[in-house]
Structure 1
C-alpha cells in the first residue's frame, strides 16, 4: 500500500486526515447556519438555504477554505464562531501512534493543509499537533489551494521535496489527483475522515485506508533513514 523504503518526505493533510473532520462538518453545516439565522433573524431552514449554496459554490477554491472571505461575505466572525465549538476538535484514531512511528523513521513529516491560519492556530492550540511534525504549510501562504496544479511547484519554496521520494496523505481525492499530476510518487487516501459519517468509497487508482493502524506496522518495520547528524 505504501513503499516506505522509497520515501524521504511525507506530506500530511490535517482536517479529515490527522484531525476528525466532524468538527468542520458540524461547523459549516450546522453551527454556522444556526448562528447566521440568529444574526439575521431567520429560521434555521432559511439560513441553511442561503448559506449552504454559497459555500458549495466555492468548493475547491481558496475561498472555500478562507475564514477572512467568509467573515466578509457573511458579516460574521467566522474564527470566533469556530472557537464556540472548539471542544469538537480532536484527533482521528491512531494518529499519534502513526506520527511517533513516522518521526522514529526519520522521514520528514510536513502538514500541508488548506486550513486558513486563524482556525489552524485554534486547532494547534487544542491539539498540540505541531509538536508531532517537522513543519506546517497552509495553502494560504502560497495563495493557491492544494487542488491547484501550480500549488505543488510553489510548495517547494516552503517545504523543499523530491517528488519521487514523497508521499501525500489526504482525505480529498481531488487533492490527491492534483498531487499525482504534479509528480508526487505515492498517494494514500483516508476513507473515514468524519467519525460521525460513513466511510468514502475506495478510489479506483489511489490506495486507501480507514485508519492509520493499517500502515503503522509496515512503517515500524522499515529501516529508519540515516541520521543527518
Structure 2
C-alpha cells in the first residue's frame, strides 16, 4: 500500500484511529442527551434534537472539540460525565502492535488530535497509548482545528517535519483531505473507527480496518 522508504513520520489521529470511537459516540450521542433531558425535564427525543443542532452549528471548528465550550453551552459537567464512562475508553486491538512496528522500523510517531487537552489527558491516563508515541499535539494548542490549513503549518514548524515524507492516518475523509491539501504526501483512512458500527466507505483515500495488514510491508 505504501513505499515505507518514502515515509519518515507517521501522523496519527486518536479517536477512531488509535482508540475505539465507541466511547465518544456513546458519550456525545447517548449520555449527553440523557443528562440534558433530566436536567431540563424534556423528552430524550427533544434533548437529542437540541444537542444535534448545537453540534451541527459548530462542526469543523475548534469549538466542536472544546469541552469547556460544551460545559458552557449545555450547562453540564462534561468532564465529570466523562469520568463515569472511563471503562469504555479502549485502545483498538491492533493499535499497539502497529505503533511498536513503526518504532522497530525507525519511524517517528506523532499523535495529531482535535481532542481537547482534558479529554486527551483522561484517555492517556486510562490507556497505554502514550508508550507508543514519540510526540503529540492537540489542535487546541495551535488555535486551529485539523480542518484548517494553519493547523498543518503549525504542526510542520513545531516538529520540523517535511510533509512529503509524512503519512497521516485518520477516520475522517474531510480531515484526510485537509492534510493532503496542506502537503502531506500520504493518507490512510480507518474504515472501522467505532467497533459497534458498520464499516465506513472512503471515496478518495485508501482505507483499512486492521493495522496488521500493514505490518508485513512495514517490517520487511
TM range (shorter): over 0.9
Q: CA RMSD in A?
A: 1.0
Look up the match of 1:227: none
Shift of 1:85: 1.1
Contact kept, 8 Å, 2:10 with 2:166, in 1: the verdict is yes
Q: How many residue pairs align between the two structures?
A: 220
Distance in 2 of aligned mates of 1:88 and 1:141: 26
1:93 is displaced (CA, Å) by 2.6
CA contact (8 A) 2:173 2:202 kept: no
Partner residue, 2:138:
138
Secondary structure of 2:159 counterpart: coil
1:33 corresponds to which residue?
A: 33
1:159 Cα deviation from its structure 2 partner: 2.3
1:209 corresponds to: 208
- The whole-number CA distance in structure 2 between the counterparts of 1:82 and 1:158 is 30
Check the 8 A contact 1:176/1:187 in 2, yes or no.
yes
Structure 1 residue 158 displacement after superposition = 2.7
1 CA distance for matches of 2:205 and 2:46?
Answer: 39
Does structure 1 conserve the Cα–Cα contact (< 8 Å) formed by 2:99 and 2:133?
Answer: yes
2:190 corresponds in structure 1 to 190
For the residue of structure 2 that corresponds to 1:167, the secondary structure is strand
1:1-229 matched pairs, under 5 angstroms: 1-203=1-203, 205-221=204-220
The Cα shift of 1:145 comes to 0.4
Q: So what's the TM-score if we normalise by structure 2? A: 0.97
Q: What is aligned with 1:225? A: none
SS in 2 for 1:158: helix
Moved over 6 A (4+): none
Contact preservation (8 Å) 2:98, 2:215: yes
